[in-house]
């Protein structure tokens, strides 16, 4: 197994003194196999460099933001140009209007856009807009779906109150009966139905949306006067150049976006239709950095490339090559190895691996071969990857399966599973 480099180790020791828990959120040290670096010094194209100078082919893409390649010259030039002219100013730059026009021109259901910084800002704004629109309180959400880290939606309840989560009713994703039952429980107080574009919860196989479920959600929202929200923060632009549910012919009232919309620069968005416009204009939402121009300029440049380049077809082709190649190598080595979700956002889980021991060992072996993969979260492809990169990953996978088979990799239960799965 690879050990973290010496600079990484010393940064962790220093972090333990000055950062609570040494790290937080999805980068908490407990969440990845031993040996995974915690600190990085740079990224270029499809590759990531850790603080000790080791280079990896990166299948996490910053947990989504890297869509076109790290340090993309065109996007970064737009960012730097606006940065030099001015970023956080007393008001927005013209890029704000250009970005809203670009989004509404691309996303079928969208007639307007509000910009913020993180995905959680966008999903929280969707909630408030729906409540302002309906003057009702209750949200229907799918159990296990991630919508952010605010008190109303964080998966770890420390420091929150039951009241933060009042007025929420849960259903099972893709289960029409449970969706109908949740809507019935909300009664005449339903403000919004939230939906991920497909089931992309951590630790379990991803599942495509059942088109009948998406259509039912639309129908129930229409029947009750509630708003339908698609949370496209993670999947946005990796399955369509439109809201992800356009692929199944369902248009939401609101959609939340973030991560890759400016190829890594900090900006997120709530998009909405005319029905929700007055409510969106009535809510008070803002932030010191929400009008900053550089990320908006980067967003305009990114959306242009999304519209005009073949990035989506490229990452679909690369994803299919990876999926087929891995399936062949896993079965050749005799492993039940499940690959789920869109090929552009794959998740890998081993059969008979409840404690993720095989998954952690295989990922560590991949890391040792310079390929950064994740044992329980979906990954992301970026358009800077090449077929040769995928082939490097496949060779690494073959050798790592072999390590597992011959017990050369250390297979032990992922020690911190209790932390990982704690509610
Ligand atoms: N919704 C979804 C579907 C997400 O995947 C995420 C982030 N992983 C969020 C919301 C929250 O986004 P952020 O971390 O930028 O606040």
Model confidence over 247-278: pLDDT tens digits?
999 999 999 999 999 999 999 999 999 999 99
Instruction: Measure 306 CA to ligand 1 centroid, in angstroms.
Output: 21
Tell me, using a 6 A CB cutoff, whether residue 258 lines ligand 1. yes
pLDDT of residue 423: 38
Looking at per-residue confidence, does 420 or 140 come out higher?
A: 140
Pair 123, 256: CB distance under 8 Å: yes
Instruction: Kindly report, residue by residue over 81-120, the tens digit of the pLDDT.
Output: 999 999 999 999 999 999 999 999 999 999 999 999 999 9
Which of 62, 119, 173 to mutate for ligand 1's pocket (most ligand atoms within 8 Å of CB)? 119
Question: Cβ of 184: how many Cβ atoms within 10 Å?
Answer: 12
- Lowest-pLDDT range of 317-321, 399-403, 414-418: 414-418
Least confident of 219-228, 363-372, 403-412: 403-412
The pair of structure tokens assigned to 168 is 């929420």
Quick check: 418 pLDDT over 70? no
Question: What integer best gives the mean pLDDT of the chain?
Answer: 95
Q: What is the secondary structure of 281-300 as a DSSP string? A: HHS----TTTT-HHHHHHHH
The pLDDT of 29-53, averaged and rounded, is 93
Distances (CA, A) of 172 to 18, 43, 397: 41, 38, 34
- Examine the pLDDT at 25 and tell me if it is beyond 60: yes
The Cα 249–Cα 415 span in angstroms is 43
Q: Residue 415 — pLDDT band, cuts 50, 70, 90?
A: low
Decide whether any atom of ligand 1 lies within 6 Å of the 199 Cβ: no
**Ligand 1 atom showing the smallest separation from residue 259 Cα:** 15
Relative to beta strand 168-171, strand 190-195 is unpaired
Q: Is residue 238 lining ligand 1, measured as CB closer than 6 Å?
A: no
User: What does pTM read for this prediction?
Assistant: 0.97
Is any ligand 1 atom within 6 A of the Cβ of residue 272?
no
Task: Give pLDDT, residue 91.
Answer: 98
Domains of the chain with bracketed CATH: 6-70+310-421 (3.90.1150.10), 73-308 (3.40.640.10)
CA 404 vs CA 31, 109, 235, 401, 412: distances in Å: 21, 48, 31, 5, 11
Mean per-residue pLDDT, 187-197: 98
Does ligand 1 have an atom closer than 6 angstroms to the CB of 123?
A: yes
d(CA 282, CA 126): 13
pLDDT for 4 equals 80
Q: Which of 150, 244, 258, 264 to mutate to test the pocket of ligand 1 (most atoms within 8 A of CB)?
A: 258
Could you tell me if the CB of 233 is within 6 A of ligand 1?
Answer: yes
Q: How far is CA 17 from the centre of its chain?
A: 30
- Residues 382-412 have pLDDT tens digits of 999 999 999 999 999 999 999 999 887 777 7
- Ligand 1 center to 216 CA (angstroms): 24
* Integer Cα distance of 346 and 363 in angstroms: 14
How far, in Å, from the CA of 288 to the mean position of ligand 1? 20
Pocket residue to mutate for ligand 1, from 25, 147, 257, 266, most atoms within 8 A of Cβ:
147
pLDDT of residue 3: 80
CA distance 147 to 144: 10
Instruction: Tell me the CA end-to-end span of the chain in Å, nearest whole number.
Output: 30
CB 104 within 8 A of CB 309: no
């Amino acid at each position: 197994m690879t050990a973290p480099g010496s600079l990484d180790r010393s940064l962790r020791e220093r972090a333990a003194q000055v950062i609570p828990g040494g790290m937080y959120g999805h980068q908490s040290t407990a969440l990845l196999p031993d040996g995974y670096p915690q600190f990085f010094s740079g990224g270029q194209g499809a590759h990531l460099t850790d603080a000790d100078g080791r280079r990896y082919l990166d299948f996490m893409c910053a947990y989504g933001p890297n869509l076109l390649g790290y340090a993309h010259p065109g996007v970064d030039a737009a960012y730097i140009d606006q940065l030099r002219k001015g970023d956080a100013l007393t008001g927005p730059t013209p890029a704000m209007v250009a970005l809203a026009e670009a989004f509404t021109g691309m996303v079928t259901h969208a007639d307007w856009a509000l910009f913020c910084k993180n995905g959680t800002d966008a999903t929280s704004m969707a909630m408030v807009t729906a409540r302002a629109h309906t003057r009702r309180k209750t949200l229907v959400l799918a159990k296990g779906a991630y919508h952010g880290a605010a008190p109303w939606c964080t998966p770890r309840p420390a420091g929150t109150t039951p009241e933060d989560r009042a007025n929420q009713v849960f259903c099972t994703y893709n289960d029409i009966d449970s969706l109908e039952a949740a809507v019935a429980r909300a009664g005449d107080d339903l403000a919004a139905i939230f939906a991920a574009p497909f089931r992309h919860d951590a630790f379990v196989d991803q599942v495509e949306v059942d088109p009948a479920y998406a259509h039912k959600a639309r129908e129930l929202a229409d029947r009750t006067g509630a708003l339908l929200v698609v949370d496209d923060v993670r999947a946005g632009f990796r399955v369509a150049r439109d809201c992800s549910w356009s692929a199944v012919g369902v248009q939401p009232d609101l959609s939340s976006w973030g991560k890759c919309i400016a190829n890594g620069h900090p900006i997120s968005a709530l998009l909405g239709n005319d029905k929700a416009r007055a409510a969106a204009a009535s809510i008070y939402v803002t932030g010191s950095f929400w009008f900053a121009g550089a990320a908006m300029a980067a967003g305009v440049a990114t959306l242009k490339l999304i519209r005009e380049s073949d990035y989506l077809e490229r990452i679909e082709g690369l994803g299919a090559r990876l999926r087929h190649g891995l399936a062949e190598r896993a079965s050749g080595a005799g492993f039940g190895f499940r690959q789920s979700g869109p090929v552009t956002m794959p998740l890998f889980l081993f059969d008979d691996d409840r404690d993720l021991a095989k998954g952690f060992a295989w990922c560590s072996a991949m890391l040792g071969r310079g390929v950064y993969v994740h044992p329980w979260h979906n990954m992301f492809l970026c358009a800077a990857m090449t077929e040769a990169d995928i082939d490097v990953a496949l060779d690494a996978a073959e050798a790592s399966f072999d390590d597992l088979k011959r017990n050369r990799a250390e297979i032990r239960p992922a020690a911190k599973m209790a932390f990982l799965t704690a509610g």
